[in-house]
Amino acid sequence: MKKISKKQSRKNIKKRRAKVATRHAKAGTWTEQSRPMFGTGKVHYEVGANTEAMNFGGIAPVHRLVTKLGLVSQIDSDLDLLKVHLPYHESDHVLNMAYNVMCGGTRLEDIERLRHDVAYMNALDADLIPDPTTAGDFTRRFKEEDVVTLMESINAVRPKLWQGRAAELLGPITYMDIDGTIAPTGGKFREGMDISYKGIWGYAPLIVSVANTKEVLYVVNRPGNAPSHKGAAEWIDKGLEQLEPYAPHLCMRGDTDFSLTAHFDRWSEKVDFNFGMDCSSALRTRAEALSEASWSRLQRKPKYETLTGETRTRYQKNEKARIVKEREYVNLHLNYEDLAEFEYRPGKCSRSYRVVALRKNISKMKGEHALLDEIRYFFYITTRTDLTASEVVFCANERCDQENIIEQLKNGVNAMRLPVYDLVSNWAHMVMATLAWNIKSWFAMMMHLKSDRDTYIRMEFRRFINSIILIPCRVIRRSRSIVIRIIGYQPTLDRLFSAWNTIERTGFA
């Protein structure tokens, strides 16, 4: 097959785009049709003999990026789980599960479809890939220290990106977010699972992530009854150690569970933090003792601003509000918020810290009747002196974006599906599936335009798969090269080739 030049490839993309645009242009010229748009004629199925094609045209540049970053050699060097490599290495198993997720797989059994896809294996220059049973057996080989080793192997290649393509993303302030969640299971035989305070059986993973790049540094599996802060200090320290050399200004964020006052003095010497604080009697007493002149009104930005600056009229009625009002359910309505601040020294600290108090005036409504006004206090403790009181609150609220990462790990990546039978094995699976989410961020960093990098880093995982990975192509495996010939069209092909060209030019020394 004759090789197509880059110039010809660009021309072919334009031709394909023009074909699609021509069809779309007809939308305004249609007259009433006598038959449905979806029609059919005689259909014949044929099985080709020589052409190998697949629907995962974006997996080859992903694998090229992973290989050039040195992740393959890093995993094989650090992880020692197999006595004999017959025929697979540790990196083969790890990438097999990560790529299964990147190709839309939601469970280990989905590996079977890839194992019978010759074009897919050719694109990865592989003669064979592990089957689902072997993949499950690999997760059961892990001990706790092996899972930590795997996470550190993945973290070891990040600096190659943080010193290059992601350097701009990490500045001027890098935010490291910490939170816990619940990974539920309906199974009865998951060793290490327990019941949470919400009455849900399962595990309680801890997630440490970078808000700027949406990367997950650590995911730590724990029994379901573990409080969010259990063992968190150790993993926070590991995250700080990972980020400090590359972040010009580092700030930690977390909710009230992560206000670990015993570590505040030590952390404040190295980085900033902004944590929520429980509404304890000591803090509430301090807030109530402040004079009214100490409080100022908090002005929040509108949830949505139109580009024209005009207010749009909403034609749909708020059905939830209507039902709550008609049935006279108790409803809480926020009237206004006030801010104040003071110095406070927690009992386990040797110095005082800045505390911002948020006072909310809330009306309790029943139908159209106001029952009473209630005052609620929220507290934020921080080392940030460069922010106003309102900016401290907004900064803390922005940490809620980590919930989107956690949601993607649960439902986009399915990292918390819990396919095996004990805590450590499921932990290993979480790490390997989460690698797919991290690779998405790494691939986005390779795009040329900053707007594209930002868009694809924030993009939902399923949309990324549909935009970048699921592209029909032919695969030709030669002795010294692999040719991926795109035979379908996606509007995102320009972004795919933008990242591909960067991957090929970059050495990642």
Question: Residue 382 — φ and ψ, nearest 5°?
Answer: -150, 160
| pLDDT value for 319 | 87
Sign of the alpha-carbon torsion through 244, 250, 256, 260? positive
| pLDDT value for 42 | 81
Report pTM. 0.91
Which of 218, 212, 217 lies closest to 174 in space, CA to CA? 212
What residues have CB less than 8 Å from 29, skipping those under 6 apart? none
| pLDDT value for 310 | 66
**Could you tell me how many helices (H) and strands (E) the chain has, helices first?**
20, 15
Which of 503, 434, 433 lies closest to 468 in space, CA to CA? 503
User: With the CA atoms of 325, 326, 330 and 335 taken in that order, what torsion angle do they form, in degrees rounded to the nearest 10?
Assistant: 10
| pLDDT value for 151 | 98
What residues have CB less than 8 Å from 416, skipping those under 6 apart? 181, 183, 203, 205, 409, 410, 430
> Alpha-carbon distance 217 to 504, whole Å?
26
Which of 287, 291, 299 lies closest to 359 in space, CA to CA? 287
Hey, what are 439's tokens? 């690779």
Let me know if 254 is exposed, middle or buried by CB neighbors in 10 A (0-12, 13-18, 19+).
Answer: buried
Query: Which amino acid is residue 328, in one-letter code?
Result: E
For helices 132-139 and 90-102, the axis angle rounded to 10 degrees is 120
> Alpha-carbon distance 445 to 440, whole Å?
9
Residue 342: its H or E element: strand 330-344
Cβ neighbours around 191 below 10 Å, total: 12
Between strands 272-277 and 250-254, the pairing is parallel
The alpha carbon of residue 51 and the mean position of all alpha carbons in its chain are separated, in whole angstroms, by 37
Domain ranges of the chain: 50-145+420-505, 172-293+318-412
What are the strands, taking DSSP E only, across 191-323? 194-195, 201-203, 206-210, 215-220, 250-254, 272-277, 296-297
pLDDT, block means (10 residues), the chain with 509 residues: 71 80 75 79 77 92 95 96 94 97 95 94 94 96 97 96 90 94 91 92 96 97 94 96 94 96 96 96 95 94 68 75 87 92 95 96 84 91 96 95 96 93 96 98 95 95 96 87 88 93 85
Which of 337, 374, 333, 373 lies closest to 357 in space, CA to CA? 337
- 68 contacts 506 by C-beta, under 8 angstroms: yes
